[in-house]
Amino acid sequence: MMPATSTEQVCDLPQAADFTVSNLAEADGALRDRFSRDGYLLLKRAVSPAQCDALLNDLLGVLSPHIGFDTSTGTPTLAGDPFYETDPIWDEVYPRVQKLESFHRFFHQPNMLEIMRRIAGREPWVYPIKMARIATPRMLGYETPPHQDAYSHHAGPTMAGIWVALHDVDSTMGRVKVLPGSHKGGVRKVFEAQGVGGVQCEIYDHETLWHVSDFEQGDVLIFNSAMVHRAEPNTSDSKVRLSVDTRFCDYGAPVFSTNLEPHHGWRIQGLNWEAIYRDWKSRDGQYYWKTYPNCF
């Protein structure tokens, strides 16, 4: 692990404010103006409990026996050893997650596409790469460090991330936090860091106030490609945070080729689209990106 620097110390200062809350009842113009100003939107309970529960149950089915569900708290719970992205347990379960038809179709549902369309003001194109986040407790230091998707996804200015809380997420469970307004300065320098992705972007001295709040099931967080964001550590005794996210852009915007592959397909043997699609009930939507007009 790298020695602490002034940059790292600044980003870890415990200064935070609640997310600015938005909702789908607002006018499109108001939502777009806020997104342009802050670089993110937190849309409260924008996805129905039924949609969240359906995918959550499918995820829990393939994550067993490592993760179960506590009906008394309404949260996933760790049933064995903790694990983190890229370790042996994660590499065992993650291909099963990626093979779920419901997981890949989640962001292509009409109501999800309509959310993207309203925020972008244009026809959205959903990236093929879909990510499931499995934040287990007792893995302090392995959480995602501050970064920009514009760097990691080689993305242009119309790309945005869309993240969904599949269950309630409290302050102990590794919440996502953002640095409001940080998208306005463009893509930043990066340096090596411990945690998911292995790099951290530069944080400027004046950037000490992060936005973070507890999430309710169905909350949607949308953030600009240059928005600096990170994950808090999961400090709970046994709760696991399960969430899903992907990226989208204006249809026709340039998309880098790595975003056309399964998440971690480059490093997990056999994790490819042929294996993912093999047991799907429908071929509809498979290989939909092959006709996309602007890949590089």
Q: pLDDT (tens digit, 9 = 90+) per residue, 144-199?
A: 999 999 999 999 999 999 999 999 999 999 999 999 999 998 999 999 988 888 88
pLDDT at residue 10, as a whole number: 42
pLDDT in tens, 106-123: 999 999 999 999 999 999
Q: What are 215's strand-pairing partners? A: 169
Q: Are 249 and 124 in contact (CB under 8 A)?
A: yes
Start-end of H helices in 39-159: 49-63, 88-98, 101-105, 110-120, 149-152
Cα separations (Å) of 10 from 38, 69, 124, 272?
20, 36, 36, 40
CATH number of 6-279: 2.60.120.620
The reported pLDDT for the residue numbered 13 is 52
227 neighbors 150 (Cβ within 8 angstroms):
no
Residue 146: name the closest of 54, 45, 226 by CA.
226
pTM of the model: 0.94
Distances (CA, A) of 11 to 20, 150, 228, 239: 20, 19, 11, 25
What pLDDT digit, counting tens, does each position of 77-97 carry? 999 999 999 999 999 999 999
Q: Cβ of 62: how many Cβ atoms within 10 Å?
A: 18
The answer for 215, left when phi > 0, alpha when psi is -120 to 50, beta otherwise, is beta
Residue range 62-91: mean pLDDT, rounded: 96
Kind of pairing between the strands at 210-211 and 16-17: parallel
Report how far residue 152's alpha carbon sits from residue 29's, in angstroms, rounded to the nearest whole number: 29
CB atoms within 10 A of CB 13: 12
